[in-house]
Amino acid sequence: MARICGDGYTVSRSQLRKIETPKGTSTWTPIPHDFVVQMVEQTIAGHSLEVAAEQYLIARDGKRMFGVLDLRSKADKDYGLAVGIRNSHDQSFPVALLLGARVFVCSNLSFSGEVKVQTKHTKYVMDRLPRIVCGAATQLLESRGLQDKRIAAYKATEIEAKKEAAYIMLQALRTDVIPTRLIDTLIERWEHPTHDEFAESWSAWRMFNAVTEALKDASPLLLPDRTKRLHGLLDAHCGLLNTKQIAV
C-alpha cells in the first residue's frame, strides 16, 4: 500500500477484495467494496466500453473507499469517460457513483463529475443497487455530448491576462476548490504545465489541468467534491451550465 497525504492508502484490486465487510443491522446493510466495482464492470461491458485503468484508495482501516475506473472506446482521443465509486463501511456516506470525463495524460484521481447517483445502505440497498448502476451507465453515455461541449469550450476560452488568471485562482480558493497550501503549486503548474498538451495556449483547459495537477498533493478523499466545484467555476467562466446531480 502507498500512503497519500495522511488520509488514506492506494490499494490494488486484489487487496480491495480482501477488505472485510462488517455485519449489518436491521436497518443498515454494508456492501463489499469490490462488489460495487464488479457491478459497474459488468454493466459497462454491455455498452462497448472497457476498463483501461483502475485506481483505488481506502481510509479509516478500509472502512471508506474511493476508486476511479477509466473507460475507453475506439472514439476516445485526449479524454474518455470515467466512473468514480465511493462506498463506506462506517455509515459515513452512501454508496455512490460519480460519472464524467477523465483526461488521459493525468495520473491523479480527479476527473469531471457530470452525474452523481447514490443510495443509502438500508436493508433494501441490494434491491436498488442494480437498477441504479444500470441507470447510471445510460446517463454516462448520454453525457458524452455535454462533455465534448464542455472541453471544447475550455479549449476555446482564452484567459487573456494575468489579472484574469489570478481572479480565477482566488475564486478557486474561496470556493474550496484548492487548499491555501497548494496555491504556489497551482501557479507553478499554470505557468509551467507538466504536460506539453496544455502549454499551447493560455486557456481554461490549461487552467483546469493546472488545478488538477496541483490537487495531486491534496486529500484524495475530497477530490470528487473539489473537482465538481472546479467545473462549476470554469463552466461559469466559459458560459456553460452547471453540473447535474441526481440522488436516488
Q: For the whole model, what pTM was predicted? A: 0.65
Is 246 among the domain residues? no
Segment 14-36 shows an average pLDDT of 94
Is 248 among the domain residues? no
- DSSP secondary structure of 47-63: GT-EEEEEEEEEETTTT
Tell me how far apart the alpha carbons of residues 107 and 216 are, in angstroms, rounded to a whole number: 9
Tell me how far apart the alpha carbons of residues 22 and 8 are, in angstroms, rounded to a whole number: 19
For residue 233, give the C-alpha cell.
Answer: 467555476
Segment 61-85 shows an average pLDDT of 77
Is 183 among the domain residues? yes
Radius of gyration over every alpha carbon of the chain, rounded to an integer in angstroms = 18
Tell me how far apart the alpha carbons of residues 84 and 221 are, in angstroms, rounded to a whole number: 11
Please give the residue range of the domain that contains residue 193.
149-238
Is 243 among the domain residues? no
Express each pLDDT in 128-177 by its tens digit: 888 888 887 777 777 667 777 888 899 999 998 889 999 999 999 999 99
Helix residue spans in 89-199 (DSSP H): 125-142, 144-156, 162-174, 183-191
Residues 84, 155: one domain?
no
Q: Which residues of 160-194 are buried (b: 16+ CB within 10 A; e: fewer)?
A: eeeeebeebbeebeeeebbbeebeebbeebbeebb
Residues 9, 63: one domain?
yes
Is 98 among the domain residues? yes
Q: Is the pLDDT of residue 100 over 80?
A: no
**207 and 168 in contact (C-beta within 8 Å)?**
yes
Residues 158, 110: one domain?
no
User: How many separate domains does the chain show?
Assistant: 2
Is 104 among the domain residues? yes
Is 244 among the domain residues? no
Residues 86, 102: one domain?
yes
- DSSP secondary structure of 64-79: EEEEEEEEE-TT-SSE
Residues 84, 194: one domain?
no
| The one-letter amino acid at 115 | V
